[in-house]
Amino acid sequence: MHIYDSLGNLKQVTKDQSITQELYEKGEILSKDDMRFHKKNNLICSRVGCEKKILTIEFQNISKDEINDMFLFTDGVTDCISDEVLLNIISNDDEFVSKQILNYVMTNDSYSKLFSNDYYDKIEAGKDNVSIIQKKIRRK
């Protein structure tokens, strides 16, 4: 989940339970956006209903005073758009932000400048399921 805060910042407030997230946290993947291009970005570390181990649920409290918008994206969105482009679209304060994001990820291909066999050099638009939920925070 991402939030667009009252200061105009885009923050990811949940983290992916994936191999690439672990590699990023260890410093083996240097940039968060590079995680999108890693060939192991489809490998998950945790899932509901398929294993007997007890899942650890992560949560955090966020004050509604800090938030303008809250977004839930599937990886079909976040794999096809950089945080920089996402922030540019969201900061336009248009009522059709979700539609603009959807249009971008369905029509634009992403290219990486990484020169390693561990990474893809291109992510084709709409490569996976694409879902967006946006909640505008109204203040009284």
Tens digits of residue pLDDT in 90-123:
988 777 899 999 999 999 998 888 888 999 998 8
Tens digits of residue pLDDT in 54-67:
767 777 788 778 78
What are the chain's domains? 2-136 (3.60.40.10)
Beta bridge partners of 38: 119
The residues, any chain, with a CB within 8 Å of residue 137's CB and separated by 6 or more, are 64, 67, 68, 69, 70
* Cα–Cα dist 124/99, whole Å: 19
Beta bridge partners of 134: 71
Q: What is the phi/psi pair of residue 2, to 5°?
A: -120, 150
The pTM (predicted TM-score) of the whole model is: 0.78
